[in-house]
Amino acid sequence: MDGFSSAALGVAVGNFRRACPENRANCLPVLPSLVRQQRRARQMYRAIEAISLQNVLLFLQVIFVCIKTLCELLVESSVQISEFADPDWSDEERQCVHESDELQSLLRGLSSLRRLLWRLGLAAELFMPEGEGPVDGSDAEALQELQASIASSLAKAKASWAKLESDIISLRLKIEPWQEGSTFEAGGCTNGSVPEQQRTAPLCRLCLLPAVPLGMEAEIEERDPGAVSAPWRGGHWHVQCANFWLRHASCSKAFKDLKVEDPFEEYIDMEESLEEQCESSLEVADFSATAEPLEGNWIDDAAAIFHRHGFCILLNALGGQEISDVLQTCLQVEADMLLLDPDRLGCRDAGRYSFGAAAKSGHMLHHPAWQHLLQSRPVLMVLKRVFREGFVFCGGGGDFVLGKTVNYQSLHSDLGPSRVPPECRSDSEPPMISVNFTVQPVTGENGPLRVVPGRRHTCEKSDAPPCFRKEPEVLRQSKLCPLPPGAAIIRDLRLWHGGTPNGSNDTRFLPSVEVMSLKYSQYISGPHSFGYTYCEVCKWHQCCFYYKDRRPCLPESLFETLPMEVQKLCEQIRGDVPVGLRQFARAQRSWEDGDRSSRWKSWRPSSEGSETIHWDRGGGAGSTSYHASYGQRGWRSNDWSEATGSNARSNAGSQRVWTPNASWEDKTFKTENFAISLREGFAAAGTVLAKTLRVTVGVVLIAKGLRFLNFLSRTLERRGGAKLRLLKALPFASAVSKVLWIFQHT
């Protein structure tokens, strides 16, 4: 970090510390102000964290330009308002002007300028020193000069607004009332979950204040229209801030005088971005096979594609009526799930939902329409060729993505190596396979699945996919599209895959069923603890599996209607199944995950074209970092004068106790949640206690051994003078023994 950035951040950190509320003996009378002070301190902390990853000098220059441009706009507006004080106007003329649309639009614009002044003022004051600090070096001098310019422009802007507001009052004009504490940015227009919303809301790229998260636009727009936000140029922006920068600040004389490039121009314009997002870097035909009524070479072709790439696309897997039945069920379940998620938090990032995560049973096989997926004959024939030793069904669910979901889902694997024993980690016969079915046309615009051919997570972190910030652009365009309705995506659960933005107006569904090999099924059928207690099979202090991995999910009534061939494959999942949905919504932002993967070098395509992508893993100087490119959608910029446009719960969900006779304990959600939390607490305490005991026993044994060596050396000294020879080999034994003896007896 350069000296200028270090000095500026030092000022910001000092202001943050002074903003933190102090402990008081009797704080009840000033509790509201302390709460507001705490919120502001939290916002300052988030802003400092965000700006520390950017060019601090360029950010302060942008703030200076914005404040100076805003001051000029306020002066110009004051001149326009003063014209209404012309004494030559009659009362009728004045009344006509007051009621005109032009004046009302101007007043709305002035209210937006007032809010922009408040936002930019907070951003500037974060880096304003409380007093005159010591000047040390050229960087500190440059910082003080820029701080003085910002402070001067901010004071002029506030004075201009005070004069303008006085003129408005004297002319008896009505401007929208506004209080700082009632804004979304200050946490004043939310529904009771202010702390969580303020912690998870994205920050505006310009003012570094919280912007409205995805899924909360409708709720916040009704309460606070000025807070409306939209994805633009690499992140979330307040619409007012985006329009102000685009229409005024970026083309102002103050910005041109800086002779720097627009810092936000590095992000591709929305129209070009959407056009590129709709393209795929994969040739779908290279990974597809077309099912035919009779057995033939198409089965071998599909199996070969699967073994080579970890997935294959099977066309004509479902018929027209089957597609219609499944789609209607998906639409109905979607409506029921959205009723439980009014804030649109999702459960797989904002706008992304998992059927299984919302169902009480963890699966969707209790819906009659899912029988069509179990009975897909083309899929069964391919699975028999893939699983030479046999397979069984283990569940079914799927996912859907709401329209206008603008973010990607990071690459991940659905089955990590911790859940697969070494004997089941074969590429030729994978432990588990998911079969997703398309029930509507899948295009590049409506959120297709993206995969990395040939990349499976099989060996701990060395095979883990990179975090989203380090994904190369080609992987974000590695999409399975276009696909017609009725296609099946047969995918190894260990394969790297993720989600893409859905820029359409409609929800995209991908219902699924899951199968596992017989060998892996026998492993899961072992004496697992399925909880937060020691598991004999997993050899770990808690089990790697959940209850839903072995509990029934197919009701007897539907099991009896299946063909005999399919019944044999579903024998292990038949039984009593709870129906309905549970609380599932939770705030998640996988596209902002930190570096959770192994170090790796940039990708290089194989000489065989699109068939395989090779990766070089490494680190150090050879590793390549990629800039995060948020999923974006088209955004029409409105003028700043027309800026109109959660409960962030994190539930682990309810888990019911599995018993050998497949009985369900009828517990309420709160009771189950408390039991899970209690088990987690005991498990954590037990883990800490076990580690402490192991360390203590090790130290005691070492101390005993060294004391024995010390005793042996004294004995040998008395008998043969051998102590010197022994101390040459262990010169530290006596001293360490005494230290460990003291440690043992304390």
Q: What is the DSSP string of 224-236?
A: -GGG-EEEETTEE
User: For the domain bounded by 281-525, which CATH number is listed?
Assistant: 2.60.120.620
Indicate whether 517 pLDDT > 90. yes
CA distance 521 to 382: 19
pLDDT band at 385 (very low <50, low <70, confident <90, very high): very high
The residue-averaged pLDDT of 590-599 equals: 46
- pLDDT value at residue 739: 61
C-alpha radius of gyration, the chain, whole number: 32
- pLDDT value at residue 553: 94
- pLDDT value at residue 306: 96
Ranked by mean pLDDT, the top range of 45-59, 254-268, 434-448, 530-544 is: 434-448
The residue-averaged pLDDT of 286-304 equals: 93
User: What angle in degrees, to the nearest 10, is found between the helix axes of 669-720 and 733-745?
Assistant: 140
- pLDDT value at residue 178: 78
The neighbour count for residue 294, using CB atoms within 10 Å, is 5
Backbone angles phi and psi of 544, in degrees to 5: -85, 0
Q: Please tell me what DSSP assigns to residue 419.
A: G
Indicate whether 630 pLDDT > 70. no
| Distance separating the N- and C-terminal Cα atoms of the chain | 45
Is residue 47 within a helix (H) or strand (E), and if so which, with residue range? helix 31-51
The residue-averaged pLDDT of 587-593 equals: 61
Helix (H, G, I), strand (E, B) or coil at 656: coil
Asked if 97 contacts 280 with a C-beta cutoff of 8 angstroms, the reply is: no
Contacts of 308 (CB under 8 A, 6+ apart): 454, 611, 612
Indicate whether 487 pLDDT > 90. yes
Structure tokens at 365: 């096989």
Helix (H, G, I), strand (E, B) or coil at 423: helix
The residue-averaged pLDDT of 625-639 equals: 31
User: What angle in degrees, to the nearest 10, is found between the helix axes of 101-125 and 239-247?
Assistant: 100
Indicate whether 102 pLDDT > 90. no
Asked if 298 contacts 289 with a C-beta cutoff of 8 angstroms, the reply is: yes
- pLDDT value at residue 636: 31
Looking up tokens 């207690």, which residue turns up?
Answer: 533
Residues comprising the chain, all counted: 746
pLDDT tens track for 233-274: 777 889 899 889 988 999 999 999 988 888 887 554 444 444
- pLDDT value at residue 467: 84
704-712: Cβ within 8 A, 24+ apart: 706/733, 706/736, 706/737, 706/740, 707/737, 707/741, 709/733, 709/737, 710/734, 710/737
Structure tokens at 417: 């190596």
Reported pTM? 0.51
Asked if 219 contacts 259 with a C-beta cutoff of 8 angstroms, the reply is: no
Cis peptide bond upstream of 417, omega within 30: no
Domain ranges of the chain: 30-267, 281-525, 681-745
The residue-averaged pLDDT of 494-500 equals: 94
